């Protein structure tokens, strides 16, 4: 679901259903395990290891330019084709069991590890059985909540603030974790109140870090921009991004041809923003 625009600020928001008073919310993992009707795009990878089987060696991972240290079981990491290749000895130093990932972002990599261990990452995706909708875990009021979680992360490579779920999607693509990609995309669709500049920067990053054969994340951004075009029209960032050009704006042009009558296309494309 894509967000609707707000009339109050240069950001987009979405109408979200009120919270149910009954305790009928179930985690994404629980719902996938108990219902075969859940669409495949949200199903968990049942090959993920359970905690009782975590007896494999520990691997140390040095993440980011500051070399923040993470530790994970070899069998858990092996669920990713990327790390499976490393574990087979292509890059791993056999004595130290150490992997260096200087280009990764610690806040994003932490979510990857959480997914590999638990099948989800915080805030969890919960199914509201009463409303038959998916919602993000309430970080402040849910039992066991860890407090408010930022939906954005600073990316040192681009020197911009980007949507965390977009960074996770692209990271999961590199690691060969298709279910994590689907989960990140669904969670991003539930975000609200994101600045237009952040959306546009994240969409450009998505185009630059996903193959042309993978259109899901790109289509998410195109649909969002079209549906919230009145909000983006007020954003000076949109004009700057259009002047920079790129494949995203060609795709946006094509998408608007489909969404609107041809007779209205020129004014919409060239004067709406």
pLDDT tens column, 22-74: 444 555 555 544 443 333 333 334 445 445 457 888 999 999 999 999 999 99
- Angstrom CA distances, 162 to 9, 200, 221, 254, 262, stand at 19, 9, 13, 25, 34
Strand partners, 150: none
Q: Is the pLDDT of residue 111 over 80?
A: yes
* Dist CA 108 CA 206 (whole Å): 15
Cβ within 8 Å of residue 34, ≥6 positions away: 26
| Residue position matching structure tokens 């909540």 | 145
* Dist CA 112 CA 103 (whole Å): 15
Q: Is the pLDDT of residue 244 over 50?
A: yes
* Dist CA 239 CA 72 (whole Å): 45
Question: Is the pTM higher than 0.95?
Answer: no
Give 90's pLDDT tier (boundaries 50, 70, 90).
Answer: low
**pLDDT at position 104:** 96
**pLDDT at position 227:** 86
Cβ within 8 Å of residue 248, ≥6 positions away: 203, 204, 207, 218, 221, 222
């Amino acid at each position: 679901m894509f967000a609707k625009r707000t009339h109050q600020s240069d950001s987009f928001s979405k109408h979200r259903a009120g919270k149910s008073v009954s305790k009928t919310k179930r985690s994404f993992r629980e719902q996938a395990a108990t219902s075969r009707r859940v669409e495949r795009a949200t199903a968990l990878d049942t090959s993920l290891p359970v905690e009782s089987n975590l007896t494999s060696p520990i691997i140390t991972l040095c993440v980011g330019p500051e070399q923040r240290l993470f530790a994970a079981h070899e069998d858990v990491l092996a669920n990713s084709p990327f790390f499976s290749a490393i574990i087979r000895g292509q890059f791993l130093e056999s004595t130290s069991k150490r992997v260096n990932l200087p280009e990764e972002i610690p806040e994003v990599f932490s979510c990857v590890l959480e997914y590999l261990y638990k099948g989800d990452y915080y805030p969890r995706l919960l199914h509201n059985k009463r409303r038959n909708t998916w919602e993000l875990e309430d970080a402040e009021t849910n039992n066991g909540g860890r407090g408010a979680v930022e939906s954005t992360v600073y990316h040192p490579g681009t020197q911009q603030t980007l949507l965390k779920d977009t960074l996770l999607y692209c990271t999961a693509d590199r690691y060969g974790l298709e279910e994590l990609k689907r989960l990140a995309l669904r969670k991003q669709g539930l975000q609200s109140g994101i600045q237009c500049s952040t959306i546009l920067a994240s969409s450009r990053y998505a185009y630059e870090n996903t193959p042309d054969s993978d259109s899901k994340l790109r289509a998410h951004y195109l649909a969002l921009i079209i549906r919230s075009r009145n909000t983006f029209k007020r954003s000076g960032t949109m004009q700057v991004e259009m002047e920079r050009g790129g494949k995203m704006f060609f795709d946006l042009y094509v998408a608007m041809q489909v969404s609107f009558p041809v007779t209205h296309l020129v004014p919409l494309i060239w004067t709406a923003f």
